[in-house]
Amino acid sequence: MTKLSGQRAKIAAVFADADRGQREAIKLYASVQTEIDVLAVVPRGADVLEMFRQGPRPDVLVVDALLPDMSIFELLSGLSRLCLKDPPAVVVSLYTPSDALRSKLLTYGTDFFILKPYRLPALFEAAACVACDTPSVLERRARSHINWYLEVLHAPADADGTAYLRRMLFELVVHDELATADELCRVMAEESRTTPNSISKSIGRSIREIWRQSTPEYVALCEYFGESTDKPLSNMKLVKGLASRIRWELNL
């Protein structure tokens, strides 16, 4: 995916629209503007999913809510099941939605709506805006990186310790990289009506399970931290080290 730095790179986008005339109009406008690199303009949700499986993967997906082969919710669910480390920002074009539909689309991962009929400059401007590192996009990418690491490390999915670990990593990555594990345990304990020690022990159990699984990713993390794989990483070492690595990957 495109990294935005001092000199802003072009934003990579994929457009999906069932209407052939609209697809041609998008291609034509893409050829005369300079901000968006249009990787593909496709007619079906299946084409979108295949592109994200095979690459190249865009920064933003601009999709019409009405596709011929699947519902917009099936498409967004399919993207979620791919467990992408860097998922795209999502812009959905549609006629004025009900509050219930809007809420459901947001729950499924939509970042921005553009109402039809629209002008093409407005559509491309929406794609450019949501692809930039706004707080909402940063939070989404942070959650995706955290979930990806916990999955490849084989953290026990339903364990309380993994849920606490996920929350702690998110706070360190997005809100306060200088917070200590003890401070975060204390805050979570107050919210969960339990004790910091109980939370620390739950996280420790999840980390021991990660150590027992000893996936290549866990071994690589130990090497990255300069630690042996003979015993589990401490809560502090894994949480702070993994948060630091994710922040580096997100250019924070």
What distance in Å separates the CA atoms of residue 91 and residue 147, rounded to the nearest whole number? 22
* Number of residues assigned to the chain: 252
**pLDDT, tens digit, 9 for 90 and up, residues 141-199:** 788 788 888 888 999 988 889 989 998 999 898 887 777 778 888 888 888 888 999 99
Number of continuous H segments (helices) and E segments (strands) in the chain = 11, 5
CA dihedral 26, 29, 31, 34 (to 10 degrees): -110
Using the 3D structure, point to which of 109, 132, 155 is the last residue of a domain.
132
Question: Locate tokens 């968006």: which residue?
Answer: 36
A 10 A CB-CB count for 208 gives 15
Residues 84 and 163 in one domain: no
What distance in Å separates the CA atoms of residue 31 and residue 37, rounded to the nearest whole number? 9
Residues 71 and 165 in one domain: no
pTM over 0.75: no
Residues 49 and 96 in one domain: yes
Using the 3D structure, point to which of 132, 150, 179 is the last residue of a domain.
132
In a domain, 223, yes or no: yes
In a domain, 37, yes or no: yes
**pLDDT, tens digit, 9 for 90 and up, residues 203-229:** 999 999 999 999 998 998 898 888 899
Residues 82 and 29 in one domain: yes
Residues 126 and 15 in one domain: yes
* Token pair listed for 173: 């990555």
What distance in Å separates the CA atoms of residue 80 and residue 60, rounded to the nearest whole number? 14
> Domain span at residue 67?
11-132
What distance in Å separates the CA atoms of residue 88 and residue 209, rounded to the nearest whole number? 31
Residues 80 and 193 in one domain: no
CATH number at residue 93: 3.40.50.2300
What distance in Å separates the CA atoms of residue 56 and residue 41, rounded to the nearest whole number? 13
* Token pair listed for 62: 């601009």
CATH number at residue 196: 1.10.10.10
User: For the chain, how many structural domains are there in total?
Assistant: 2
Using the 3D structure, point to which of 132, 152, 185 is the last residue of a domain.
132
Residues 15 and 123 in one domain: yes
**pLDDT, tens digit, 9 for 90 and up, residues 9-59:** 578 999 999 999 999 999 999 999 988 999 999 999 999 999 999 877 888
Beta strands in 116-209 (DSSP E): none
A 10 A CB-CB count for 39 gives 17
